[in-house]
Amino acid sequence: MDKKTRWMFWIAGIIIFAIFPKLAGIYYSNIVVSMSVWALFAVSLNMLLGFTGLLSFGHAMYFGTGAYGAALALTHVNGLSFFSAMAAGCLCSVVLSLIVAPVVVRVSGTAFAMIHLAFAQCMFVLALKFRNITGGEDGIGGFSVSHIRIPGLFSLDVTDPAVFFYLSIGTVILNLLVLWFVIQTPFGQVMAGTRDNVKRIEYLGFRVSHTKAVVYVLAAGSAGVAGAVSAMHQNLVAVNDAYGMMVSVLPIMIVMVGGARSFFGPIYGAVFFGFLEEYVTAYTDKFELILGLILIIFIMYWPLGLAGIFLKLKFKWLTRKQFLKRSGGGAG
């Protein structure tokens, strides 16, 4: 893609983003918001899984902590805005990850996966049992997000779905850009090196545990942002949707179907799953069954996921174009 088409692409994207709530209505705007939340959550998991080689079976602990953090802040502090609540959620996840990090960066592979399963289940039980704080199974709901104002200039009503659409998508895109940038830095290279060969990275003088810790906190913080946005979107945090097993497993599925080797893979995966949920739940409530089948098909036939399929198609298209160009004189 040359510079001009890239600019066109960005401008078209911004225009679609701006008119989408008007064009598609509240219902579809909400679907896009929840897709974007899942996309950010899955990308944050993929920072660990695809780019550093760490599989976590309990990433929900950061999504849930972000959600509870935002909800609790909104319930107990008056007049908190969208951004402060989001920051509160993100901060809670970061603090939790800093507590857990010294333990988890010392392990890898199966131990890393299982330790997270244990931690996430701990959080689940804690959230269930401390019902005076978390509301137990009922969860926390009905908190109000105050308007975003700059006195004398403007005031944004966050309860307006269109405004919420802009804010949440904007937040998610910003966070995704930060993560994308990290991949492109020297540190991103060290992450990839840790995934490919821990021994060599160590013998090149990089400290594996510190590298893992930085990625870990980044991933936790981003998952926290996703959780906080989700909490404000639903205006409810319940223990099953925050710390439930499915909340940990679904992003892994999204990453596998979208493609773990690509930064954008999980985003494709989240969009795919969003549409799938929309159409499948219209016919049956056995959504998980369909998910499982699709996961099996992808693992067997397209291990590189949707991102791999897109890359293949693009490659085919490019070679075809080149072929036509070369034989163009004769054919034309």
Partner 1 sequence: MNILETRNLEHEFNGYSVLKKVNLEIRKGETHAIIGPNGAGKTTLFNVISGMYTPSKGKVIFKKKDITGFKAYKIQRLGMGRSFQITATFDNLTAFQNIRMAVLSRKGIRFNLFRFVDKMNDVTTETINVLQNLDLWEACHTPAGMLSYGKQRSLEIGMALATDPDLVMLDEPAAGMSADETHTAVSLIKKLTKEKTVVIIEHDMDVVFSLADRITVLNHGTILATGIPKEIKANKDVQAAYLGRLEDE
Two structure tokens written together for 119? 């931690």
Q: Which residues contact 119 (CB under 8 A, 6 or more apart)?
A: 58, 61, 100
Distance CA 212, CA 207 (A): 9
Residue number with CB closer to partner 1 (4 or 199): 199
Least distance in Å: CB of 53 to partner 1? Answer: 10
16, 248 contact by CB (below 8 A): no
Looking at beta carbons only, is 218 or 232 nearer to partner 1? 218
3-class DSSP assignment, residue 151: coil
Instruction: Pick between residue 156 and residue 183 the one whose CB is nearest to partner 1.
Output: 183
Residue among 210 and 320 whose Cβ is closer to partner 1: 210
**Spatial separation of the C-alpha atoms in residues 326 and 313, rounded to whole Å:** 20
**Is residue 228 within 8 Å of 273, Cβ to Cβ?**
no
Cα end-to-end distance, the chain, whole Å: 25
Specify the residue, 205 or 329, whose C-beta has the smaller distance to partner 1: 205
Q: To the nearest whole angstrom, how small is the minimum distance from the Cβ of residue 326 to partner 1?
A: 23
Could you list the residues that contact partner 1 (CB under 8 A)?
A: 182, 184-190, 192-193, 195-197, 199-208, 210, 214, 261
> Shortest Cβ distance from residue 190 to partner 1 (Å)?
7
* Nearest distance, CB of residue 208 and partner 1, angstroms: 8
Q: How far is CA 324 from CA 183, 285, 314, 318, 329, in A?
A: 36, 48, 15, 10, 9
How far is it, in rounded angstroms, from Cα 157 to Cα 54?
Answer: 40
Query: At closest approach, how far in Å is the CB of 123 from partner 1?
Result: 28
